[in-house]
Structure 1
Amino acid sequence: MTTATTGLDDERVGAVLDEIARTAERNDPDVMKRAYATAADWPQPPTAQEAAELCAQAALPVHPQVGTFLYQLIRSLRPALVVEFGTSFGASTIYAAAALRDNGGGRIIGSELHPGKADRARSHLERAGLAGYAEIRTGDAREQLATLPGPVDLLLLDGWKELYLPVLKLLEPALRTGGLVVSDNLPMLPPEFTDHVRAAGNGYLSQQLPLGDGIEFSVRLQQEA
């Protein structure tokens, strides 16, 4: 008996993920070095919009360990709706959409501030054969994710770190009891965010996981009234 090639063994999925990884390896160090050097001369830290422009050519893909973890979570949870803050070139979206396809249904709604990156993410999803499971909204996530088609089963936070907490608070009314929050780039997370998900009484059970450069993994224990 033969088994259809799906998920992370799908040649189209693997080819696009490999391409994004090669782009990141080739471009990201120089792009980020220039971005930090430019912003260092500014009197104030860059805004999310300014940072998006500085990093427009950086792929910034999710680490394969984190991407595989997302795939595993989604295959197990079988969510109807996954939401992503910070799509970039769409690597994490591809991991999620592949799992949704292999589950037989579900949708991921991503948000990306930079229009060029959003277009590249859509192109990558199309080439991976996963466009039917994903929607990428372009613009400020606090506006683009304000309206959703149903309860959020899993939330991935992987965008501008200072917006993690505002985006989470925006989505808390839609985050169902038992919903999951995966927050990438643990060393860069603002303390007000980690304090919020770790503090007793805020409705989460949260811990650090050593995947990639570290993630904060949180379970919503109770939906906001």
Structure 2
Amino acid sequence: MTAPTIDAIRPLLDRLFEAERDDVAIIARIAADRSDVGPGAERASLHDLPAAELSDALSGVLIPVTRETGELLYVLARNRGVRRAVEYGTSHGVSTLYLAAALRDNGGGEVIGTELQAAKVLAARANLAEAGLADLVDIREGDARETLKDLPGPVDLLLIDGFASLYLDVLRLVEPHLSEGALVLADGMPEGPHVIGDYLDHVRDPANGYVSVALPVGDGIELSLRTAAR
């Protein structure tokens, strides 16, 4: 039996997770230095900043999915037999590596990622090339509301892990392409309903064609099953 691709890329993943260990401290320092998001400010968190401003503030931070979330992505993508996955918020490509590894083991396919920061796009492409998975991935540089307008076919899995204020915008953009039975994962639930409340209202309303559940995995996941393609 051939070893799963995920086993071959674990040393690279270990290195990337080690590199992000200081992310929390860096983000805390950024917030503390801003009067509009620091203690006593009206804004509750960095996620309340406009998307472009938040992207610039966090340009040097990896902020990947957690290892537990990455493993979940791999398991779900393998089990679903995913052939096309879309992710919003590629950063340095940790989640992309998990998804691409699953697609390799599924026999092929495509991961379409989108990332606003040019330096992060380069880093992600380098990591995917090192893993030997670049041929399965199309990373699009720019605003997801533009880069994801053109999708080549049905989407079996959507990962939303970018600016919280855009979660529902991205879902609505990709929604017409979701296949029946597609999985949608929204990462970063501890930021709370106050920043993605409209997104949660949408996927938790059966009338919108989803069955959805909150999972205590990693930073918190909202996992939604697309019950009917439109």
TM-score (norm 1): 0.92
> Counterparts of 1:56-75 in structure 2 under 5 Å?
56-75=59-78
TM-aligned CA distance change 1:57 to 1:81, over 3 Å: same
Measure, in 1, the Cα distance between the counterparts of 2:34 and 2:211: 36
The CA deviation at 1:6 is 3.0
Contact preservation (8 Å) 1:157, 1:181: yes
Determine the structure 2 residue equivalent to 1:173. 176
The CA deviation at 1:23 is 0.9
Determine the structure 2 residue equivalent to 1:196. 202
Contact preservation (8 Å) 2:155, 2:177: yes
Determine the structure 2 residue equivalent to 1:100. 103
Q: Which amino acid aligns with 2:116?
A: L
Measure, in 1, the Cα distance between the counterparts of 2:19 and 2:34: 23
The CA deviation at 1:135 is 1.1
Equivalent position SS for 1:40: coil
Measure, in 2, the Cα distance between the counterparts of 1:207 and 1:41: 33
The CA deviation at 1:41 is 3.5
The CA deviation at 1:38 is 3.7
Determine the structure 2 residue equivalent to 1:34. 29
Measure, in 2, the Cα distance between the counterparts of 1:127 and 1:120: 11
Q: Which amino acid aligns with 1:176?
A: S
1:120-152 residue CA offsets vs partner (Å, 9 max, x unmatched) = 011111111111111111100010000011011
Contact preservation (8 Å) 1:28, 1:57: no
Equivalent residue in structure 1 for 2:130, among 107, 127, 130: 127
Determine the structure 2 residue equivalent to 1:118. 121
Determine the structure 2 residue equivalent to 1:146. 149
The CA deviation at 1:216 is 0.3
Fraction of identical pairs, as percent:
44
Over aligned residues, Cα RMSD in angstroms? 1.5
The CA deviation at 1:117 is 0.8
Contact preservation (8 Å) 2:83, 2:106: no
Contact preservation (8 Å) 1:16, 1:128: yes
Measure, in 1, the Cα distance between the counterparts of 2:35 and 2:12: 34
Q: Structure 2 regions of 5+ residues with no counterpart?
A: none
Measure, in 2, the Cα distance between the counterparts of 1:216 and 1:207: 6
> Counterparts of 1:12-91 in structure 2 under 5 Å?
13-25=9-21, 27-41=22-36, 45-91=48-94
Q: Which amino acid aligns with 2:30?
A: A
The CA deviation at 1:36 is 1.3
Measure, in 1, the Cα distance between the counterparts of 2:34 and 2:183: 34
Q: Which amino acid aligns with 2:10?
A: G
Equivalent position SS for 2:139: strand
Equivalent position SS for 1:169: helix
